[in-house]
Amino acid sequence: MANMSYKCLTCGAELFWKADRNAFVCDYCEDSFTLDQLQEAGQTGEVDETKVQKAEELMEGEAAVSTDGTVGNNLVKYSCSHCGAEIITDRSTAATICVYCGNAVIMGEQIINDFAPDFVIPFSVEKKKVMEAFKEFSKKPLTPKSFDCEKVVDKMQGVYIPFWLYSGTCEGDVDAECYNEEKKRKGDYDIIKRDFYAVKRRGKVNFEFIPVDASSKTEDEAMDSIEPYDFKDFKPFNPAYLSGFLAERYDEDQEKCYPRAQERIENTTLDLIKDSCPYDSIHIERYDKDIKLSETKYAMMPAWLLYTTYKDKKYFFAMNGQTGKFVGSLPIDYGKLVVFSALGGILGAVIGFFIGG
Ligand SMILES: [Zn+2]
Ligand SMILES: [Zn+2]
């Protein structure tokens, strides 16, 4: 087995993970199988390290862009195990779809050893649904007429994004000056009475699975804004879930990504401490924190992504592949915008325009 894929137990064709059926489905005979059924039939999905296909380096000047639409510029090549075509892809791609034969190609060497994920959340939002959501989203009053949503939506890709998940404890120790305020009206005067308190608070927070995306290619802010993922759907990682999707392995290690988790943990701890202070005003004078990480897990989470360019500007749309939450921006027809501002609706229109559901 050069690349990895899962075969239909009825006809032997390639199987793909189908979100709407929550199963692996054969496009030819329509049969579907659970992971258990495949494993019982001997398709363990375990990666045989001795047999994984290694990426081949490109010759100088051989290719400037990937054939599979993955972004990045650190390119290597694989050959498709089904049709033999050469697939130029980014070095950190862990799964792709062969553009020539449409079959799933899973890069075994990108999901073993140091790159083996602990968990995966399988896609539960199907492509049809995300395409409809995007079409609905682009029916905005300010979208230029020439922005061809039907054409753009074809570029929508299901991508497994690598995440680090940090767990541990944070001890926070706070000195704060707080007050409660009382307002009274006396004759012609407002009288404000403030009672001041010197407050000390100490608390320990256990945190589990604080996620930080581990790919330099995804926009951190977009990933943050399609969170949260619901960790109840965590499955032990199995490469079978990747078939039919793109997948990125991490290219930023857990140390590099940690500061973003740290910031979230420190802010959350402080917020919880503040919540325990029943005062009208809280002014933090000192905040000491001590984070102890217990373990860091590596997981792949599903996202629908669409990058497009309109009149030389880049636009981005992302949807959480588990919950359907989305963010994005669309081109604006400035001619229409003028009409809108003349109508006085500009503020509401522009804000409503940039922030999706
Ligand atoms: Zn079949
Ligand atoms: Zn192929």
Q: Give per-residue pLDDT as tens, 258-280.
A: 999 999 999 999 999 999 999 99
Q: What is the pLDDT of residue 145?
A: 74
Question: How far apart (Å, rounded) are the C-alpha atoms in residues 170 and 167?
Answer: 10
Residue 346 binned pLDDT confidence (cut-offs 50, 70, 90): very low
**What separation in Å is there between the alpha carbon of 1 and the centre of ligand 1?**
19
Query: Strand pairing partners for 167?
Result: 295
Q: What is the pLDDT of residue 4?
A: 62
User: 221: exposed, middle or buried (C-beta count within 10 Å: 0-12, 13-18, 19+)?
Assistant: exposed
pLDDT digits (tens, 9 = 90+) for 189-225: 999 999 999 999 999 999 999 999 998 887 777 788 8
Q: What is the pLDDT of residue 179?
A: 95
pTM: 0.81
Region 86-110: what's the mean pLDDT? 87
Region 227-241: what's the mean pLDDT? 88
Could you give phi then psi for residue 275, rounded to 5 degrees?
Answer: -60, -25
Residue 106 binned pLDDT confidence (cut-offs 50, 70, 90): confident
High-pLDDT (> 70) share of the chain, %: 90
Residue 330 binned pLDDT confidence (cut-offs 50, 70, 90): confident
Q: What is the pLDDT of residue 5?
A: 66
Tell me the CA distances in angstroms from 231 to 119, 228, 262, one per residue in order: 10, 9, 20
Region 247-266: what's the mean pLDDT? 94
- Per-residue pLDDT for 329 more than 80? no
**What separation in Å is there between the alpha carbon of 8 and the centre of ligand 1?**
5
Region 157-176: what's the mean pLDDT? 94
**What separation in Å is there between the alpha carbon of 104 and the centre of ligand 2?**
8
**What separation in Å is there between the alpha carbon of 168 and the centre of ligand 2?**
44
Question: How far apart (Å, rounded) are the C-alpha atoms in residues 288 and 175?
Answer: 9
**What separation in Å is there between the alpha carbon of 350 and the centre of ligand 2?**
44
- Per-residue pLDDT for 245 more than 70? yes
pLDDT digits (tens, 9 = 90+) for 32-89: 998 889 889 888 767 777 777 788 888 877 877 888 777 667 889 988 878 888 888 8
Relative to the alpha carbon of 104, which ligand is closest?
Answer: 2
CB 284 within 8 A of CB 270: yes
pLDDT digits (tens, 9 = 90+) for 293-328: 999 999 999 999 887 777 787 777 888 999 988 887
Residue 117 binned pLDDT confidence (cut-offs 50, 70, 90): very high
**What separation in Å is there between the alpha carbon of 343 and the centre of ligand 1?**
58
Q: What is the pLDDT of residue 45?
A: 66
**What separation in Å is there between the alpha carbon of 250 and the centre of ligand 2?**
25
**What separation in Å is there between the alpha carbon of 122 and the centre of ligand 1?**
21
pLDDT digits (tens, 9 = 90+) for 170-180: 999 999 999 99
Relative to the alpha carbon of 29, which ligand is closest?
Answer: 1
Relative to the alpha carbon of 7, which ligand is closest?
Answer: 1
Higher-confidence position of 185 and 151: 185
CA atoms within 13 A on the CB side of 241: 25
Q: What is the pLDDT of residue 353?
A: 37
Q: What is the pLDDT of residue 344?
A: 39
**What separation in Å is there between the alpha carbon of 96 and the centre of ligand 1?**
21
Q: Which of 262, 271, 282 is nearest to 203 (CA)?
A: 271
Q: Where are the domains of the chain?
A: 15-116, 127-161+302-354, 163-233+252-300
Tell me the CA distances in angstroms from 320 to 7, 136, 222, 293, one per residue in order: 28, 16, 10, 27
**What separation in Å is there between the alpha carbon of 241 and the centre of ligand 2?**
19
Relative to the alpha carbon of 31, which ligand is closest?
Answer: 1
Q: Residue 335, Cβ neighbours under 10 Å: how many?
A: 11
**What separation in Å is there between the alpha carbon of 53 and the centre of ligand 2?**
15
